[in-house]
Amino acid sequence: MSNHTQQRAERYGHQAGFTLMEVLITAIILSVGLLGLAGLQFNALRSNQSAAQSTLAVLRAIDGADRLRSNTAGVAAGHYDSLTGDPDGDPGCIGDEDGCESNRLAEYDYWAWSEQNTALPEGQGVICLDSSPNDGASKEENGCEGEGTNVFAVKIWWDDDRNPDTALRRHTMSLIP
């Protein structure tokens, strides 16, 4: 062996590649990184689902407001002033030859609107007179003031995280039809 080759072998010792310890450390680092990416993916999916539910709640609130605006006679007569209980069912006036009277149309609107709110997890909502719409924790505890204002509130609650121990999420819309 030449002198130069012998000096090189002495300088580097018997190192010929990766040791088992280096391979294990690399595998651990790679595993931790992949677990972090999986956690990010999970959080992204959860956030996407929450955004989709928020969008649906906004659409449901717009639908409730449109129902108010389309039945001005019912609004003027006070049929929409406090739609907070459970609807009695389809009043059956849509498709009648004579059409719906404003009170029956208000009942139908609330029934149909409430049925569509069930697309949200634990979805529930109220339409009522309320000058401070950003209150209320649920359909039962809605915070509607009732008389004394001409501002309507469309309030929708749903279980965003599907955890019964946390408060329901709320979306509100105020309008004067």
Q: How confident is the prediction for the chain on average, in pLDDT? A: 87
d(CA 101, CA 99): 7
Question: Which pTM was predicted?
Answer: 0.76
What is the pLDDT at residue 6? 63
Does the residue 84 lie in any domain? yes
The total of structural domains in the chain comes to 1
Model confidence at 15, in pLDDT bands (50, 70, 90)? low
Does the residue 58 lie in any domain? yes
Average pLDDT over residues 13-32: 83
Does the residue 9 lie in any domain? no
d(CA 149, CA 125): 20
Does the residue 10 lie in any domain? no
Does the residue 13 lie in any domain? no
Does the residue 22 lie in any domain? yes
H or E segment and range at residue 126: strand 124-129
Q: Which long-range contacts (CB under 8 A, 24 or more apart) does 45-53 make?
A: 50/160, 50/161, 53/120, 53/121, 53/158, 53/160, 53/169
Does the residue 7 lie in any domain? no
pLDDT tens for each residue of 86-114: 888 888 887 666 678 888 889 999 999 99
Does the residue 143 lie in any domain? yes
Model confidence at 173, in pLDDT bands (50, 70, 90)? very high
Range of the domain at 104: 18-175
